Amino acid sequence: MHEPVALVTLALTLAAFVGFDLSRTLRTGRAHGKFGIITRKAQPGRFRRYVFGDWLVLGLCAVMILYAVIETFQP
């Protein structure tokens, strides 16, 4: 890996945007999906998938950061 700083910066930026979106979604109970607004009451299944997708992206960002840190300290 040539640029671990770039990978960490990308992962942190993506995590910040997704974290903001997740907090707004959970606070308001509505999300902006591909086909319009998804609400917690009207479409609970789609809303749940949207929230789990955000959590999945945050987890992948954490894995990317961990990978970059481990690769940086490899001899």
71 pLDDT band, cuts 50/70/90, is: confident
Q: What is the reported pLDDT for 1?
A: 55
Query: Do residues 11 and 24 lie in contact, with contact meaning Cβ atoms separated by under 8 Å?
Result: no
pLDDT band at 2 (very low <50, low <70, confident <90, very high): low
Q: How many angstroms from the chain centroid is the CA of residue 70?
A: 21
pTM of the entire predicted model: 0.86
**pLDDT tens by residue, 6-59:** 889 999 999 999 999 999 999 999 999 888 999 999 999 999 999 999 999 999
